[in-house]
Amino acid sequence: MIRPKYALLGGEGVIIGQLPSLPLPKSNAGPSLLAQLLVGKYQDHLPLHRQIAIFACGSVHLKASTVCDWVQGAAELLEPLYMCLRKRVLGCDYIQVDESIIPVLDKDKLGATRKGYHWVVRLPEHRSLFFHYDKGSRAQYVAVELLKDFRGAVQSDGYGAYDIYENKQGVLLGCWAHVRRKFEHALAEDPERAEYALRVIGQLYALERQMKELELPPDEVRALREKEAYPIIREFEKWLERETSSTTPQSSIGKAVRYAYALYPRMARYVTDGRYRIDNNGAENAVRPLALGRKNYLFCRNHEAAYHAAIVYSLLGTCRLWDINPVRWLTDVFSRIQDCSVKHLEELLPHMWTPQEQKVRS
């Protein structure tokens, strides 16, 4: 830290600038270093031991235990901001959800890991997302607890954990990308029927691309979907109903047909609102950094570490959606968050963030 020091005129003494608040009290890790460590691990997929080795090449020698403590402390410092982000996402009326594996060391079996799960919840309209970790479970009770206060539309794949939601307080939307993949898998076995289904799905996606290029508002999107997409979807439903009785459940084409037919009501609902997406690819894309990261750091050492990873992935993922430099954002946040009141905490979220130097100039 730089603290300006000035001698007063006439030898009347010395004044020194006030010491800025440190992100981690009693630590010599500054905001920029903490930002680089988090972005290095959770966005650039560099495990901490690799980052420590890189620092050592520049004659900066850091203990692994110290760096781990810094990363843990930084994640804990960001937790109130993470909770603010969760509230923002779940306070809207249309979200996309998906889950991804995160291996966690098993405390009862030395050297073994157990499957943990991060649940991602994405807000398509306002470019925000968060990851949820609940001791690694993929059970339905996690989805129920996660969405207990949410009111609106939930878009997901065909995972049964969300079935209970459809009968309660909202609308459940399906994912045409998942249906398309099922028929792609059936191409080798039954090209005629699989190609027909893929042509139909291709027509729906072509319409979506056309509307996106024209930048149509939601009302016009809904009207065009009802006019052009819905008749295609209704004909596809009739075809699925016929093919259900003429395909075997164990075959690839049979699995594809039954999957699409069982989820048909969810698949068709996207036409009812121009804000809804045709698929859940946005949520799936959001979990890719997690998938890349676990290939490098392999596992989280405990549930607490997995929860801290969810905090950081949430904030960095939202920065990516807003095209914000994560190192710059984190450095600024770590410089200010200790002095930021709860009332103004939301101002540090990526969608509202103004760098401190710009605030000073204005």
Return d(Cα 306, Cα 259) in angstroms, integer. 33
Q: What percent of the chain has pLDDT over 70?
A: 94
In sequence order, the β-bridge partners of residue 123 are 128
Q: Residues 328-337: pLDDT tens digits?
A: 999 999 999 9
Average pLDDT over the chain reads 88
Q: Assess whether pLDDT exceeds 80 at residue 19.
A: no
Of 270 and 3, more confident: 270
Q: Assess whether pLDDT exceeds 50 at residue 362.
A: no
Mean local confidence (pLDDT), 148-171: 80
CB < 8 Å & 24+ apart, contacts of 62-69: 67/37
Considering only CA atoms, which of 305, 309, 359, 310 is closest in space to residue 332? 359
CA distances from 332 to 38, 89, 168, 234 (A): 14, 23, 42, 52
Q: Assess whether pLDDT exceeds 50 at residue 360.
A: no
Return d(Cα 229, Cα 204) in angstroms, integer. 6
Q: What angle do CA 76, 81, 86 make, to 5 degrees?
A: 110
Confidence class for position 343, pLDDT limits 50, 70, 90: confident
Which DSSP helix (H) or strand (E) runs through 257?
Answer: helix 252-262
Q: Assess whether pLDDT exceeds 60 at residue 195.
A: yes
Considering only CA atoms, which of 204, 186, 201, 187 is closest in space to residue 254? 186
Residue 229: both structure tokens together: 């997409």
Confidence class for position 341, pLDDT limits 50, 70, 90: confident
Return d(Cα 140, Cα 138) in angstroms, integer. 7
In sequence order, the β-bridge partners of residue 300 are 104
Residue 138: exposure state from Cβ atoms within 10 A (0-12, 13-18, ≥19): middle
Considering only CA atoms, which of 109, 110, 134 is closest in space to residue 120? 134
- Predicted TM-score of the model (pTM): 0.87
Q: Which residue has the tokens 């809904």?
A: 222
Q: Residues 220-261: pLDDT tens digits?
A: 999 999 999 999 999 999 999 999 988 998 999 999 999 999
Confidence class for position 357, pLDDT limits 50, 70, 90: low
Q: Residues 89-98: pLDDT tens digits?
A: 999 999 999 8
Q: Residues 161-189: pLDDT tens digits?
A: 777 777 666 789 999 999 999 999 999 99
Of 175 and 11, more confident: 175
Mean local confidence (pLDDT), 260-276: 94
Amino acid 1: pLDDT: 56
Q: What percent of the chain has pLDDT over 90?
A: 60
Q: Which of 131-140, 250-259, 262-271 has the lowest mean pLDDT?
A: 131-140
Q: Is 330 helix (H, G, I), strand (E, B) or coil?
A: helix
